[in-house]
Structure 1
Amino acid sequence: MDASLNERLNQIPAKILTDEFLKGQGLGNEIGFWIFDYQPESELQVREYVTFLEDMLTKKHAHLKVAHINLLSALIDYLGDRGFLEKAISLQQAKGDDALLSALKGPLHMDKFVPYLNDRYNADKADLILMSGVGSVWPMIRAHNILNRLHSVLGHVPLVLFYPGFYDGQSMSLFGRIPSNNYYRAFKLVP
């Protein structure tokens, strides 16, 4: 277990439960998107922590409407709801990853997927959104694409993205190896 990661994780509740955070105060009209980046090797530890955090918020802060969007679960549900899941699995097995990615470009366009997330998780009505599973859905869904589209849907709802890689305050690098080549306006949750 990574002690420095534990120290960073333990700072999250105090940060996200402040009125300033939940109301997006002090952001200078910026959107309230926050990124908690971590070493990809710590994925299982972070998953456990997100489950703990969601449970703690539900029990001790029941007045808050918290939506946890696990992108892998959401992707599976989305494809299943549209009758694409079995077809996607068969296509990947028969023709490989490139064929699957090409076939899913249309159905997974953010103009379709983000409204689905919003409806499924009542995201725009939440007080706080936790988002995980970024590494599990790459390259079908890319973090910067989903964040870029979400900001127009969520308004001032704060979102915390748990990101297996590095975020330097301007750009993301998934797994510490795959640069996004896109600037993204978000804040580091815990340095």
Structure 2
Amino acid sequence: MASLEERLDVAERLIKSESFRQNKGLGNEVGYYVFDYPAEKELIVRERIDYMKGKNLKGSDGFELVVFDLYDIVIDILESEGFMDQCFKFEKKKGLERIIKAVGNLLQVNDEDSMIVKHIQENTPKDAVVFLIGIGKCYPILRSHKILNNLHQAIDRVPVVLFYPGKYDGQELVLFSTIKDDNYYRAFKLVD
């Protein structure tokens, strides 16, 4: 089995290929991919993504690598709406389950016009590859299947890669080796 570093090397080569950026997966499906990795290797993956983003800034790849940290997007939306303090108070008063529901409703996570999807859509240039990171930091407020399913409806012009701290078998995601997400994904595994 390839090491994480070897898999990241393959991923870097893949996203630079013209055929990958044409955004057609197997069977001409829209190019949505999952790069899974052990959660304890999060810092290695973050460093490598930063490195790839830095290399891409030189402008010689023919595309822009756009990295969206889903956690940062959620926090930015909550702050811009003036809800951070209310979230802290509400969580103390009503508990985590209620804050998850309240924040989900605010972000319209279940809707096709989710605030997160809108943010990604509005900030993705024409010739891009999108990396989604930070899904582990968002759990349980934000679930990866909701983002992928809603993005799939809204963005089909560029390939999207979700970096997932867990296991993806091509059908379902398992977060932190114990939390199973029993939702079907229309995404390909980027690198075995």
TM-score norm. by structure 2 comes to 0.89
Amino acid at match of 2:52: L
Q: What is the DSSP-based 3-state SS (H/G/I as helix, E as strand, rest coil) of the residue aligned with 1:107? A: helix
Residues 72-111 of structure 1: matches in 2 within 5 Å? 72-110=71-109, 111=111
Q: Which residue of 1 aligns with 2:170?
A: 169
TM-score norm. by structure 1 comes to 0.90
Q: Distance in 2 between matches of 1:143 and 1:61?
A: 31
Shift of 1:124: 6.1
Amino acid at match of 2:15: I
- Structure 1 stretches of 5 or more lacking a match? none
Q: Distance in 2 between matches of 1:125 and 1:78?
A: 24
Shift of 1:60: 5.1
Indicate conservation of the 8 Å contact 1:123/1:154, yes or no.
Answer: no
Indicate conservation of the 8 Å contact 1:38/1:163, yes or no.
Answer: yes
Amino acid at match of 1:99: R
Q: Which residue of 2 aligns with 1:18?
A: 17
Q: For this pair of structures, how many residues does the alignment match? A: 187
Indicate conservation of the 8 Å contact 1:124/1:154, yes or no.
Answer: no
C-alpha root-mean-square deviation of aligned residues, in Å? Answer: 1.8
Residues 1-191 of structure 1: matches in 2 within 5 Å? 4-25=3-24, 27-59=26-58, 61=60, 63-110=62-109, 111=111, 112-113=114-115, 114-119=117-122, 122-123=123-124, 125-191=126-192
Q: What is the DSSP-based 3-state SS (H/G/I as helix, E as strand, rest coil) of the residue aligned with 1:139? A: coil
- Structure 2 stretches of 5 or more lacking a match? none
